[in-house]
Structure 1
Amino acid sequence: MYKEEILLIGEMITITIMAFALGMDAFSLAIGMGMIGLRYRHIFNIGVTVGAFHIVMPFIGLIVGKFLTQYFGMLAIMIGGGLLLFLGCQMIYSALFSHDRDSGVIKPVGFGLLLFAVSVSIDSFSAGLSLGMIGAKTIITLACFGMVSMILSWLGLIIGKKVEGYIGVYGELLGGGILLAFGLKLIFPI
């Protein structure tokens, strides 16, 4: 009994560390996204959506991982990187060439929100490919992934919103640069 409790605690610590690692990119990217002047209602919706995708993507990864090879995991990372590059370029273009600040940027609402959520949770898909191999408790793991990424997304979006007020249009450039850099990092790992 005592040994099982220690193993459970060790597994929970491992799952929590993994959830933070997967949620940190959502946090970083949310700072950039928060700089486009979002309302708190949007921040709430974005956090919930990102959290949901951090549950769904590893679950799909678990299912797909049983049937596909490592090649597909790399393809998923490349697609995620491409989405981040697209969003980053869109924000930078809007900041540099659009006189109406909100005209060119893809807002994190509707399809734009889905693009953002997929791009920050694509690494969770890859993690899901390997979750089944370690025998992790699926429901606990997925709930932890979703909760941690949702909280980190909210935190990043709020920080971005606060910083944006101080740096104005340069915030949109910085946010686009952050998205662009993470997209390049996914596509060209060092």
Structure 2
Amino acid sequence: MSNNNRPDFDDIKNYEEFSKYYWYRDELIKICRDLGLKSPSGKIELNKIIEAYFAGERILPEKKHGKRKRSVVTELTLDTGLIACGFTFGNRFRDFFSKQTGEEHFKFNVDMVATVKAVKENGDESFTLGDLLDLYYGKKTYAMYDKSALQWNRFVKDFCADDATKVYGERLKVAAKLWSIVRDSDMEKIYSRELLEKYRDRL
């Protein structure tokens, strides 16, 4: 790989070692493709495939079949399968959720968008419009933001909350430099004052 601290993927012996390091989504896709494995677009799914690979299981790309004609679902209910009805974020489905929620100008939130993407990638035909509504109300979860994005967001928040970082003019750039050091190491992906002191001369 492109940095000095993180070993090449081929030199990593198990998933535990692999997960100590930060990997970009494009890197994970390339790893999966190079191994002849399924390479979905989501980081959560990519990590699961690599974890399975280290456990001795190869999750292969799905074979493309000729397009089968699906019976078109004309009436939408809460029991309608998301895949079966050919769900999109268009007006038909926005109107359906507008009626269900009583919100005149209904907007799909980011968790709904991530979930729909994951449901389609996983071919999960059991997931219904009712499940998506439950997710909207926070009653259940399916595909939230990937762990690495949350780690970065928390890192920046904690960095900027530390009075010791106020000496920097462009704190976000400095936070990014410090994050890159942490990201490419096997250190815990969290900010601390000790971390700042340790790498201050490299910022």
- The two structures have a TM-score, normalised by structure 2, of 0.22
- Larger RCO, structures 1/2 (Cα 8 Å, 6+ apart): 1
Greater helix share, structure number: 1
Q: Which has the larger radius of gyration?
A: 2
